[in-house]
Structure 1
Amino acid sequence: MPERGHALRKLGFLTIGRFDADDPRPGLEETLEVIDRAEALGFDSVWLRCRHLQAGISSPVAIMAAASQRTSRIELGTAVIPLGLENPLRLAEDLATVDLLSGGRVNPGVSVGTPMLYDHYKRALYPESYELQDFSKQRVQQLLSHLRGEPVSDFSGTVGIEQFTDHVQPHSPGLADRVWYGGGRDSAIWAAQQGINYLTSSVVSIEGTESRDFATIQAEHIDAFRAHHPAPARARVSQGLVVIPTDSATDDQIRRYRDYAASRFERTTSPQGLGPPVAGGPAPRGMLFSPDYVGISDELADQLFDHAGFRRADEVAFALPFTFGADDYAQIITDLAKKLGPALGWSPAGV
C-alpha cells in the first residue's frame, strides 16, 4: 500500500486525447507523442479515455495499436470502453490482436449501462434491434469469455481449404486477467467475484454508505473489492484523481490550473444527482466528486498520503484535465514523473 515509507508501485496517467473536430490529425498525433514522452519519462502506464460523438478518442483500440508500434514497454489501458456501443466478440478480436502486437501490454477497462444520449443515435447504432439490446454486466462476462478462449461457435473444422476454430482468433493468453471494471461498492464486489481488476476515479457513488467524505467512500469500495476477490494478493486497484503538480509550471499555468480546480470545487461539497424519482425509472443515484489537487509535489504527496483511497491503491492513473494545451500537458506529466512520483516513493521504469 502506498503509505509513507512504502513505495508507490505503478504510476500512470489518463488522457482524453482531445483534437480539433475540423482538423483531427494533429490532436491524434499529439496523443501518440504524449505516450512516447510518457515511456521516455519512465511511466508504467498511459490510459485512454473513450468518448463517442465528441472531439476525443472514439477508438482507443486503434490508438493503442498505433502506440504499440512506437513504444516497447509502457502499458496501454482504456478508462473506459463503454460496452453498450461494442460487440463483445468483435472487440475481443481487436483487443487480442493489439495485445499480441504490443507484447502483452494492453489493459482493457470497460463499463456497461445504457450509452449516454442513446435515444439520439440508437437507430444508427442498432437499426433493427435498439430496443432489444442488453446493456447489463452480461456484456462484460461475454467479453471475458471470448478473451479466455471459450467457444463462440458450434463448428470447428475445415470448409474447402479454409480452417475454422470455435473460439476467437487470435487468442492472447493472459489478456482476460488484465480487464478492469469501475463503479461503486456493488460494482467493486461484482468485479472481484469475476476475478478482474478495479478502477476507481474522481467520482464515487454514495449508495451503501453513511459517509459523505470522498476518500472514506473510495476506501470502503476498495476494501469491499479486496474482501471479495478470490486472489486479493494479485488483485489490482488503480486510483484516478485529477492531480496537477506545479513544480516547473509558469505563473500563468499555475493561475489557470488553480482557476480550473476552483471552477469545479462546488460540485465536491455535496452529492450530485439526488432528486425526486422519475416515474417508472430507477432511483436517483448520489454521486460525490473529488476535489482536484493542485500544488507543488511535496505538498501533493502529503495530501495523498493522508487520502484513505490512495493508501489502499496499488497504482495510480492521474487524470489530465480536458481543457489544457500541449505545453501544459508536457509540464504536468514531466513533473508527475520527476517530482511527484519520487515524492511518493516511486521509481521510473526502464530509465
Structure 2
Amino acid sequence: MPLPSRPLRKLGFLTIGLFDEADPRRGHESTLEIIQLGEQLGFDSAWVRHRHLQYGISSPVAVLAAASQRTSRIELGTAVIPLGWENPLRLAEDLATVDVLSGGRLNPGVSVGPPLHYDRVKDALYPDTGDAEDFSYERVRRLLGFVRGEPATGFRGADGFEVFSDRVQPYSPGLGSRMWYGGGSLRSARWAGEHGMNFLTSSVVKAEESEDFAEIQLSHVREFRAHHPDGERARVSQGLVVIPTDSASSGQRAKYKEYADRRTPRTSSPQGPARMMFAPDLVGSSAEIAERLYDHAAFREIDEVAFALPFTFEHEDYVQILTDLATGLGPALGWRPRH
C-alpha cells in the first residue's frame, strides 16, 4: 500500500437522518444512537445533514442539542445549514446555546444561495420580503459577526428591570473559530479562506478548470489555503461517500454494490447547467479503499475527513459501516481513535 503523505488526524462521519413520516421519532432516535456509537468507537466528529420539507433532519441544531446531552467528547457538526432558510441573528443564538450545552464541541457548517425550489416555498418562508432577501455571502458574514461577538445593536444596559446586551447571548468565545463553509467552487473556497472560516469539501464540486474530480477538489483546497490567514495550517475536511465491507454480510455487500452502481453514471461527466461533478462512491475492503484514497490528489493534502453515510440504508448497515471505518479504514489511514 502507498505510504500516506501524512497520517489522518481526524476521522468523522456524516448522516442524513432519514425517518418514516408515520414514526419520525424512531428515525431521530436512530440518528442519536449512531452518534453515540460514533463516540464509543472513538470518532472525532459526527455531522448531520439538513433537509427542509423532506423526510430528513429539518432542525440539525435541535438534534445536536439532544446529542450533546448523550455524549461527552465527540465533536458535533452540521454539513451544511443552508442560510437561505435562516435568520442569521436567531441562528447565531441557537448555535451559541448548543455550543455552551456541549462544552464547546459544536462545528457549524453553512452555505449560501436561494433555498431549493425557492419559487415554491418563498411565500411560506418570506411572505412579505421574498423578492428582497439577500442570499449572497453577506448572509454568512452577518452570521460570522454575530457568532464572533460583534455588536448586534447600538444599545446595552438596563431598561427597567431588564438588562440587555449589544451582542448575541450566550456568547461562546471559541465558536467563531469552529465555523465551516461548505463549498464546491473556487469562488466559495476563496471567500471562506479570506474570512477565516474552515472549509468543507464534499463529493460534489463544480467543474470549472477540469473534468477530473480529484483535480478540481485539489484546486479548491489550495485556493482556500492560499487566501486563509493560517495558510497551509487552515482546516479542510473532505466528505466522500465511503463504504467499507470488511465485516459486511453477503447481503449487505450486494446492497452496497447496487447502491454505488446506480449512482456511478453521474460521475462520468459534469451534470446540468451548473456543471456539477460527483465523486464515485468508494466501496470495498478497508485496504482497497485506503489505496484509492492515497491515489486521490485532494485527499493527500488534507488530514481530516467526515465520510458520508449513504442515504437509504438501515440502522444495522450504519453500525457495520461505522465499525469498519473505526477499526479498519481509519487505522489503515494512520488514524487512531480518541478514547
TM-score class normalised by the smaller sequence: over 0.9
Q: After the TM superposition, which residues 154-169 of structure 1 pair with which residues of structure 2 at under 5 Å, given as runs?
A: 154-169=154-169
Q: What is the CA-CA distance between 1:5 and the residue it aligns to? A: 6.3
Query: Where does residue 337 of structure 2 map in the other structure?
Result: 348
CA distance in 2, matches of 1:244, 1:172: 36
Pair 3,114 (structure 1): closer, same or farther in 2 beyond 3 Å: farther
Amino acid at match of 2:270: P
Normalised TM-score (structure 2): 0.98
Amino acid at match of 2:84: G
Gaps (5+ residues) in structure 2? none
Q: Is the 8 A contact 2:12 2:46 kept in 1?
A: yes
Structure 1 residue 291 corresponds to structure 2 residue 280: yes
Amino acid at match of 1:121: V
Q: After the TM superposition, which residues 106-125 of structure 1 pair with which residues of structure 2 at under 5 Å, given as runs?
A: 106-125=106-125
Query: Where does residue 325 of structure 2 map in the other structure?
Result: 336
Q: Is the 8 A contact 2:76 2:105 kept in 1?
A: yes
Q: What is the CA-CA distance between 1:6 and the residue it aligns to? A: 2.9
SS of equivalent residue, structure 1 residue 200? strand
Query: Where does residue 29 of structure 1 map in the other structure?
Result: 29
Aligned residues: 337
Q: Is the 8 A contact 2:4 2:300 kept in 1?
A: no
Query: Where does residue 144 of structure 1 map in the other structure?
Result: 144
Q: What is the CA-CA distance between 1:120 and the residue it aligns to? A: 1.1
Gaps (5+ residues) in structure 1? 274-283
Query: Where does residue 96 of structure 1 map in the other structure?
Result: 96
CA distance in 1, matches of 2:127, 2:204: 33
**Identical aligned pairs, as a percentage?**
65
CA distance in 2, matches of 1:269, 1:81: 28
Q: After the TM superposition, which residues 1-351 of structure 1 pair with which residues of structure 2 at under 5 Å, given as runs?
A: 4=4, 6-183=6-183, 184-207=185-208, 209=209, 211-273=210-272, 284-350=273-339
CA distance in 1, matches of 2:15, 2:112: 20
SS of equivalent residue, structure 2 residue 19? coil
CA distance in 2, matches of 1:232, 1:258: 39
Q: What is the CA-CA distance between 1:24 and the residue it aligns to? A: 0.1
Q: Is the 8 A contact 1:108 1:179 kept in 2?
A: yes
Q: Is the 8 A contact 1:3 1:311 kept in 2?
A: no
Q: Is the 8 A contact 1:5 1:345 kept in 2?
A: no
Amino acid at match of 1:76: L
CA distance in 1, matches of 2:207, 2:211: 7
Q: Is the 8 A contact 1:239 1:313 kept in 2?
A: yes
Task: Give the root-mean-square deviation of aligned CA atoms.
Answer: 1.1
CA distance in 1, matches of 2:319, 2:301: 28
Amino acid at match of 1:327: E
Which stretch has the larger CA shift, 107-116 or 226-235? 226-235
